[in-house]
Amino acid sequence: VRVDRVLPPRARRAMGAWVGAVGALAFVVAPRVFRFLDDAPRAGDLMAPVFRRIDLFGVAAAALFAVAARRSRWRAGLALLLGALAAANAFFLNPRIAARDARMELYHRLSEGAWGVVLLGGLVLALAGTARAR
């Protein structure tokens, strides 16, 4: 089995799974958890590990996609940008949000913005695939 034949479909599925998980968490799960618990700090404590896992999965999915799309600079570059946003969320923004840093609201907005870019960029990549246009 040639890696060039196996890697692109798996990379595309990983990107789709990541983007789908981000969308589901952002628009369905998190709002319901926060509304159900009616206690933002407690809901945040509950959701923080989930957000981190999704972001870490995103770093891996983006790296896999960038390797699979290496012949297309814009696809590989966009995938790496999305992976960097996921890494920033996982290692910088979310720990500060969880620690209830003085600038927590700013970090939260930046994190939401990063996921917005991930949703749009990931959707573009999932639909565009890994191959260079001929």
Reported as a single tens digit per residue, the pLDDT across 41-52 is: 899 999 999 999
Phi/psi for 75 (5° steps) reads: -70, -50
Compute the distance between CA of residue 105 and CA of residue 84 in angstroms, rounded to an integer: 21
| Predicted pLDDT at 8 | 86
Predicted model pTM: 0.88
Compute the distance between CA of residue 98 and CA of residue 89 in angstroms, rounded to an integer: 12
**Least confident interval from 1-5, 10-14, 36-40, 53-57:** 1-5
| Predicted pLDDT at 1 | 47
Q: Is 96 exposed, middle or buried (0-12, 13-18, 19+ CB in 10 A)?
A: middle
Compute the distance between CA of residue 42 and CA of residue 34 in angstroms, rounded to an integer: 9
pLDDT tens, residue by residue, 50-85: 999 999 999 999 999 999 998 899 999 999 999 999
| Predicted pLDDT at 3 | 53
| Predicted pLDDT at 40 | 86
